[in-house]
């Protein structure tokens, strides 16, 4: 995989996108025979002996009880179908998470407690796990004449991805201490830009090189991307995280990195397509689903695959947060 400075390779995408975001076609190209919506998994938290406490209840618990519960929490992946069943709502191709979990006006849809006492946390937006992307890509490569030639675009806005001129690093790890005086000094030095009035911006490295960081972008409506050559076949194996040029070995789960024993991790592509443009996969940063556009046979396979939760949707689908009319 190599960085591509000639972003005209992706110009065809721009020609098929709408300027407005009233439907999915602000980010998903028009003009394909069929479309599939692949739902990102949620997380469900449970306790064996009691309901999960609400945020208000949690604040009122003694420290010892909090610690006991923290040790007993069980977190597991949850499908949208399982979530809908828990809340007594209906899963359908146009379902929206905040409606599925019965979020009241002004309520926090990111974590909701179901009537049976479990807490459902919203799916991650804009990203696919390594295994899930591999499951999708396994079908994608069977429906292109160029499985070993294609392109991946990564949204430029991910923290730490690109270098820049500034006064603090693109990737920063702040120290903490139990000494209140020392901590006060650290707080002042990290938050006060006027400690040194003669400070000049310097180049702060990101994951990608300075050449890439300062290079051309694939500009699409409201989104700019860094473009790479990328054989689609690579992503059919979950080991793709080791091969992409935007992998950062210094980070892994949480704030620790591979050197701390965490497995390799990397952002999934925001857009992926083969050289023959037989299909395109879009993981828009504000979507809790990934959209695959392509031939009918591909879409049928993805929707029927038992390792994915997916539904066929028509061209022109509205996936905005208030589009779910069934669960209102």
- The tens-digit pLDDT sequence of the chain (328 residues) is 999 999 999 999 999 999 988 999 999 999 999 999 999 999 999 999 999 999 999 999 999 999 999 999 999 999 999 999 999 999 999 999 999 999 998 899 999 999 999 999 999 999 999 999 999 999 999 999 999 999 999 999 988 888 877 766 555 444 444 455 555 554 544 454 545 555 678 868 888 989 999 999 999 999 999 999 999 999 999 999 999 999 887 654 444 556 666 777 899 999 999 999 999 999 999 999 999 999 999 999 999 999 999 999 999 999 998 899 999 8
Q: What is the pLDDT of residue 260?
A: 64
Nearest to 44 by CA among 77, 71, 69: 77
Handedness of CA 309, 314, 320, 325 (dihedral sign): negative
Q: How far is CA 323 from the centre of its chain?
A: 21
- Cβ count within 10 A of residue 317: 17
Q: What is each CA distance from 218 to 52, 152, 198, 228, 300, in whole angstroms?
A: 45, 11, 36, 10, 30
The continuous run of DSSP H or E covering 99 comes out as helix 97-100
Query: Using an 8 Å Cβ cutoff, are 26 and 20 in contact?
Result: yes
DSSP string, 236-293: GSGGGGGTSTT--TT--STT--GGGTPPP--PPPSEEEETT-S-EEE--TT-SEEEEE
Handedness of CA 302, 92, 121, 69 (dihedral sign): negative
Contacts of 136 (CB under 8 A, 6+ apart): 38, 128, 281, 290, 292, 302, 308
Q: What is the pLDDT of residue 159?
A: 83
- Count Cβ atoms within 10 A of the Cβ of residue 51 and give its class: 0-12 exposed, 13-18 middle, 19 or more buried: middle
Query: Using an 8 Å Cβ cutoff, are 154 and 226 in contact?
Result: yes
Query: Using an 8 Å Cβ cutoff, are 139 and 301 in contact?
Result: yes
Query: Using an 8 Å Cβ cutoff, are 219 and 175 in contact?
Result: no
């Amino acid at each position: 995989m190599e960085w591509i400075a000639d972003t005209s390779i992706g110009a065809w995408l721009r020609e098929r996108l709408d300027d407005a975001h009233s439907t999915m076609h602000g980010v998903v190209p028009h003009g394909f025979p069929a479309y599939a919506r692949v739902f990102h998994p949620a997380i469900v938290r449970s306790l064996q002996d009691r309901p999960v406490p609400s945020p208000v209840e949690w604040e009122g618990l003694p420290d010892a009880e909090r610690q006991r519960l923290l040790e007993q929490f069980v977190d597991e992946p949850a499908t949208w179908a399982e979530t809908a069943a828990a809340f007594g709502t209906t899963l359908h191709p146009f379902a929206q998470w905040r409606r599925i979990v019965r979020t009241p006006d002004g309520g926090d849809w990111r974590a909701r407690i179901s009537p049976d006492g479990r807490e459902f946390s919203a799916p991650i937006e804009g990203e696919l796990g390594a295994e899930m992307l591999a499951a999708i890509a396994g079908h994608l490569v069977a429906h292109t004449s160029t499985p070993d030639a294609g392109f991946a675009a990564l949204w430029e806005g991910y923290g730490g991805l690109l270098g820049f001129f500034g006064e603090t690093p693109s990737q920063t790890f702040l120290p903490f201490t139990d000494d209140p005086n020392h901590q006060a000094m650290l707080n002042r030095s990290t938050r006060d830009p006027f400690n040194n009035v003669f400070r000049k911006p310097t180049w702060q490295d990101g994951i990608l090189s300075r050449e890439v960081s300062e290079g051309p972008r694939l500009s699409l409506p409201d989104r700019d991307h860094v473009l790479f050559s990328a054989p689609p076949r690579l992503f059919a194996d979950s080991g793709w995280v080791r091969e992409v040029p935007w992998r950062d070995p210094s980070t892994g789960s949480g704030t620790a990195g591979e050197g701390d024993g965490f497995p390799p991790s990397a952002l999934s592509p925001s857009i992926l397509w083969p050289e023959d443009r037989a299909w395109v996969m879009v993981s828009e940063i504000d979507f809790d689903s990934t959209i695959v556009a392509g031939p009918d046979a591909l879409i049928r396979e993805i929707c029927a695959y038992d390792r994915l939760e997916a539904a066929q949707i028509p061209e022109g689908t509205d996936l905005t947060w208030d589009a779910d009319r069934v669960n209102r």
